[in-house]
Structure 1
Amino acid sequence: MVMTHYMELLSLHEPWFLILFMLVPMVLAETILASDVLSLIYRDRRSAKWDSLKHICGLILGIFFIIVTVYIVSSYVPTIQWRGPIDYISIWAYVLGVIPAVLVLLQELGVIFKGPDETSKLKKHLGLMILFVLLTHLAMVFGMADPQLAGYVPPKQNMQMQMNGNMPMDGNMPMDHSQMDHSQMNHDQMNGQMNGQMNNNNNGQMDHSKM
């Protein structure tokens, strides 16, 4: 199985990149998502602590994911050689998660969605978080897949296929007739030498019997 660059990124500097690129954003996102859902269900009994926690997590997620995206796009992507469509989807789906993360940050800062309707703002906030979770989970699913499923051929295997391109489908090696002729000649020469030695031995025995 061939790894995607998404999985290779998570495996770098273990376990720190796994914590930074998967654990931290997922914990923040799912905390915000749970808070939004509970706030919609229990609108009359909303807790100020939950709202405060959601606000802090939204700020951290937005700032954190901007930094993560800048690192991936500027430092990681230029160093890789793509491994087919699955590899593209896994990386860019993760990177696109910065869009809802930034919009959540702007909403928490009061830049967008400043209307007086709290329910409308909460629904928009929830929609952005659902989009973020969908994109990051899409990256995760494709990131764990084998790029060869979409037609990617590893360089070594591709070279072997090119070298063996003239081989028949049954896997039998083509026979070189010149080598066959040469081996047949050697075989005939060996048979001739053995027959000559046997004749000499027989003649020697016959002469000895005459004596």
Structure 2
Amino acid sequence: MNEKTSPTRRSSLIFAAIATVVAVAWALLSHDRTTGAAMAMPMTHYMELLSVQQPWNLLLFMAVPVVLAETLAITELVILLNRNAPAWVHSLSRWAGLVAGPVMIGITVHLLIHAVGPLTSKGLWRGPADVIAVLAYLLGAIPMVGITLVETGLLGRDDHARRRLHVTFVAIFLVVAHIAMIFGMLDPAVMGHEAQPMQHSPSAPASTPMDHSGHHMP
């Protein structure tokens, strides 16, 4: 790392650290975003998460991560295909990478507290498709955090190594995100889940009735 790039790396690291603290604070202090009125049809918790508290959950849990990933993928292609790519392309890629990790950390912490924990402790998973969809979604945080670490200079020995890691992490995120989408859109019954006639949301009072389809986001 030369003297010219050192201040940039340092400022990137500071920004990423602050953004991560803010994201985790939101995850811990925000009201439970996994509850709400869901459609009366069989669905995984992944799909139910996106369908409740519209349009905010769709924007927060789907649009933001996907837009960040696609921004990273597109700018990466431009940079790889054009060594003289405009400075704004490099800047856009860098800032998207710095934001991606903290965003996914915040989302992951929130879902672990309000969804994964209650679902696991109360045995409310809706079969293998449900588990695969949610697990794949949460695994997307790993490559996103990796991208942020690359942008802060904590990963990668040189520019070539950092570029390789950057591309690899983007590819991994796109793979796990699509796995989450595919299994998340699947009817849980296809993989053997039998819906119960009545359940209670793990994060709601026991007196709150579920709809008769038994599909309500915890």
TM-score for the superposition, normalised by structure 2: 0.68
1:71 aligns with 2:113: no
1:137: how far off?
1.4
Letter in structure 2 aligned against 1:13: Q
Q: Deviations over 1:121-158 (max 9, x none)?
A: 2122011011011111110111011011111111239x
Aligned equivalents of 1:105, 1:120: Cα separation in 2: 14
Q: Deviations over 1:63-98 (max 9, x none)?
A: 111000000111222233101100000000000111
SS in 1 for 2:197: helix
Q: Which residue of 7, 10, 26 maps to 2:66?
A: 26
Q: Which residue of 90, 93, 100 maps to 2:133?
A: 90
Runs of 4+ deviating beyond 3 Å: none
1:169 alignment partner in structure 2:
none
**Greater helix share, structure number:** 1
Aligned equivalents of 2:81, 2:169: Cα separation in 1: 18
| Unpaired stretches in structure 1, ≥5 consecutive residues | 158-211
Aligned equivalents of 2:80, 2:161: Cα separation in 1: 10
In the TM superposition, what are the counterparts of 1:25-64 in structure 2 within 5 Å?
25-43=65-83, 45-64=84-103
Aligned equivalents of 1:46, 1:77: Cα separation in 2: 42
2:216 alignment partner in structure 1:
none
8 Å contact from structure 1 (residues 107, 113) kept in 2: yes
Letter in structure 2 aligned against 1:90: A
State the superposition RMSD in angstroms. Answer: 1.4
The size of the alignment, in residue pairs, is: 154
In the TM superposition, what are the counterparts of 1:104-183 in structure 2 within 5 Å?
104-115=147-158, 118-156=159-197
Q: Deviations over 1:32-76 (max 9, x none)?
A: 111111111112x12211010011111111111100000011122
8 Å contact from structure 2 (residues 150, 165) kept in 1: no
8 Å contact from structure 1 (residues 90, 143) kept in 2: yes
Higher Cα radius of gyration: 1
Aligned equivalents of 1:78, 1:125: Cα separation in 2: 31
1:6 aligns with 2:46: yes
Return the structure number with greater relative CO, CA threshold 8 A, min gap 6.
2
Letter in structure 2 aligned against 1:136: A
1:165 alignment partner in structure 2:
none
| Unpaired stretches in structure 2, ≥5 consecutive residues | 1-40, 199-218
TM-score for the superposition, normalised by structure 1: 0.70
Percent of pairs with identical residues: 40
Letter in structure 2 aligned against 1:150: M
